[in-house]
């Protein structure tokens, strides 16, 4: 039996609101400095290091961690795993907010953000990988908006438009998977043009495959992570289906993550063999590469498998957190740590504290939006007027 949950906390001065409010105020001040003083006023970016933490974290990490949207919708609507249906709307919401923040973050990183639409309407760079990434991200953001919109339309009581959009669910899911496959892999392809800048252990002709497969891992782990936090902080907003299916989702996605991690480990080893870079594993960069490969790929694979075998939800949930950290480390390694590795230490990039502050500000905006939407719209429960339509 579903229920509509409308109770929204009226207390404004909660710990979350106070901390988020402080971060937002500081973030707005830093935003003002960025758009009045330019990139030089708030960043340590240079001609040698034009891509910093805003690309490494806000874009590469953000897109990867938002992959739960296409992974979950594909599992439910394409592969028919209806038992995970309750995870779809939270995953789509997380993905929609994630991609929205990625686009917002690009406005900070690009020198003249008002020219972001330029490649689409003035001079199409159809031979550019970056153009393909931009086009796919823009289109997928539209798809995510449409996939999310039924929840908003149910909240607003617009039944006819909601019925029209839900009739397109399968089409939107297929289109979303195609676009995700393209841009997740193309983000890795961006680094193929810099073989002399990226350390050989991270540089590989398989980079597009690495990025796509690791995005699936990130998506599965983020669904588990998001589900864990949601059941802790939004349990009173959930119906019986969400409460009953939470363990099944954790076990099912943990099992899938274990298999994909095993495959990812195998192709990473193939990448080393293909470049014949075994001798580099004994260097300082090689040791850090092994920390990433063994500590954040092999070990999570093992612990996911153990957690699923023993039906130990605690192990699976903590492994999901560890895996998400591993994805972040991988993207940082490729974009920052192992990039321009040959430069002297004093010429290497390290983010300005204002860059970090703006990234925290953007993440906080996402958390505020998630909380606002989840406490008002039917994300964790079926709207009573549309139960038969789900």
- In percent, the amount of the chain with pLDDT more than 90 equals 79
Query: What's residue 1's pLDDT?
Result: 39
Mean pLDDT for the stretch of residues 137-160 = 94
**Is the pLDDT assigned to residue 3 strictly greater than 50?**
no
Does the residue 48 lie in any domain? yes
Which stretches of the chain are DSSP H helices?
15-37, 53, 62-65, 68-73, 88-109, 118-121, 129-156, 159-166, 169-189, 207-233, 240-275, 284-290, 299-309, 313-332, 353-374
Compute the mean pLDDT over every residue in the chain, rounded to the nearest whole number: 92
Query: What's residue 115's pLDDT?
Result: 82
> How far is it, in rounded angstroms, from Cα 255 to Cα 309?
9
Contact between residue 261 and residue 300 where contact means Cβ atoms under 8 Å apart = yes
Does the residue 347 lie in any domain? yes
332-367, pLDDT tens digit by residue?
999 999 998 988 888 889 999 999 999 999 999 999
Does the residue 8 lie in any domain? no
DSSP 293: I
> How far is it, in rounded angstroms, from Cα 226 to Cα 221?
9
Does the residue 145 lie in any domain? yes
DSSP 330: H
Does the residue 354 lie in any domain? yes
Mean pLDDT for the stretch of residues 221-242 = 91
Query: What's residue 244's pLDDT?
Result: 86
Selection from 286, 290, 318, 304 nearest residue 217 by Cα: 304
15-53, pLDDT tens digit by residue?
999 999 999 999 999 999 999 999 999 999 988 788 899
Does the residue 184 lie in any domain? yes
Domains: count for the chain: 1
251-293, pLDDT tens digit by residue?
999 999 999 999 999 999 999 999 999 999 999 999 999 999 9
Selection from 209, 210, 223, 254 nearest residue 98 by Cα: 223
Token pair, residue 183, equals 């841009």
Does the residue 166 lie in any domain? yes
Q: What angle do CA 55, 199, 336 make, to 5 degrees?
A: 25
pLDDT band at 302 (very low <50, low <70, confident <90, very high): very high
CA 372 vs CA 102, 209, 259, 377, 379: distances in Å: 19, 36, 35, 9, 11
Mean pLDDT for the stretch of residues 56-69 = 95
Residue-wise DSSP of 41-96: GT----SS----HIIIIIIIIHHHHTTHHHHHHIIIIIS--GGGGGGHHHHHHHHH
pTM over 0.85: yes
Structural domain containing residue 322? 21-377
C-alpha 381: how far from chain center: 24
> How far is it, in rounded angstroms, from Cα 193 to Cα 339?
12
- Output the domain CATH number for residue 31: 1.20.1630.10
> How far is it, in rounded angstroms, from Cα 185 to Cα 173?
18
Does the residue 159 lie in any domain? yes
């Amino acid at each position: 039996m579903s229920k509509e949950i409308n109770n929204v906390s009226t207390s404004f001065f909660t710990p979350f609101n106070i901390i988020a409010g402080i971060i937002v105020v500081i973030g707005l001040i830093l935003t003002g400095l960025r758009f009045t003083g330019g990139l030089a006023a708030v960043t340590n970016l240079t001609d040698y290091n034009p891509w910093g933490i805003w690309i490494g974290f806000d874009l590469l990490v953000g897109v990867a961690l938002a992959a739960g949207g296409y992974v979950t919708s594909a599992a439910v609507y394409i592969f028919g795993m209806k038992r995970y249906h309750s995870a779809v709307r939270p995953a789509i919401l997380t993905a929609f907010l994630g991609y929205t923040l990625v686009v917002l973050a690009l406005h900070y990183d690009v020198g003249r953000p008002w020219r972001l639409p330029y490649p689409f309407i003035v001079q199409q760079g159809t031979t550019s990988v970056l153009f393909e990434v931009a086009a796919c991200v823009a289109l997928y953001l539209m798809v995510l908006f449409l996939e999310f919109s039924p929840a908003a339309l149910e909240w607003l009581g617009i039944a006819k438009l909601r019925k029209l959009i839900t009739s397109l669910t399968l089409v939107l899911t297929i289109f979303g998977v195609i676009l995700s496959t393209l841009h997740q892999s193309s983000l890795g392809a961006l680094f193929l043009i810099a073989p002399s800048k990226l350390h050989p252990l991270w540089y590989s002709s398989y980079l597009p495959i690495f990025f796509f497969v690791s995005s699936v891992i990130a998506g599965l782990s983020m669904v588990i992570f998001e589900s864990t936090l949601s059941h802790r902080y939004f349990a009173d907003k959930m119906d019986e289906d969400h409460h009953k299916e939470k363990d099944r989702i954790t076990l099912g996605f943990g099992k899938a993550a274990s298999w994909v991690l095993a495959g990812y480990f195998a192709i990473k080893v193939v990448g080393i063999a293909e470049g014949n870079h075994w001798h580099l594993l004994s260097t300082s960069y090689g040791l850090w590469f092994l920390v990433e490969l063994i500590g954040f790929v092999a070990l999570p694979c093992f612990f996911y498998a153990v957690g699923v075998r023993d039906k130990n939800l605690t192990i699976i949930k903590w492994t999901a957190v560890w895996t998400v950290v591993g994805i972040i480390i991988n993207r940082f390694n490729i974009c920052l740590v192992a990039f321009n590795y040959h430069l002297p230490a004093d010429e290497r990039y390290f983010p300005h504290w204002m860059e970090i502050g703006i990234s925290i500000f953007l993440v906080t905006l996402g958390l505020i939006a998630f909380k606002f939407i989840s406490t008002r719209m039917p994300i964790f429960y079926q709207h009573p007027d549309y139960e038969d339509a789900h």
